[in-house]
Amino acid sequence: MGIVGILAVAALVVVPLIREYADFRRAWGLGRLSALGVTGLVVPAVVIGIAVALPFAQWPFAQWGVTVAAALAAYSLAVRAVEGVLAPERASSSSR
């Protein structure tokens, strides 16, 4: 993979997750562990994305695209559900 690959992964995945973590701390008022837990929902979301994309194994580009799209959708739904529990008034106003 090399250093360029590691930097690319950091730029595309890790940096946005750090920003997401900081946003959960600042905007939602979560503590360190809680914000880390919500950010950590990305792990099961990726597993869901991989599982959904398994039928596309013969087409690597399609498999990659489906994995990313399904993982983003699952993570977004999970975060929205957490927001609905933590701040139902904000979640209901953002869905209008």
User: How many domains are contained in the chain?
Assistant: 1
**What would the two tokens of residue 19 be?**
């920003």
pTM score: 0.81
Sign of the Cα torsion 41, 45, 48, 54 reads negative
What share of the chain has pLDDT > 70, as a percent? 91
| 3-state secondary structure (DSSP) of residue 29 | coil
Q: Where in the sequence is the domain holding 57, given as residue range(s)? A: 2-94
pLDDT digits (tens, 9 = 90+) for 14-47: 889 999 999 999 999 999 999 999 999 999 999 9
- CB-based burial label for 53 (10 Å; 0-12, 13-18, 19+): buried
Higher pLDDT, 24 or 2: 24
Nearest Cα to Cα of residue 78 among 40, 29, 32? 40
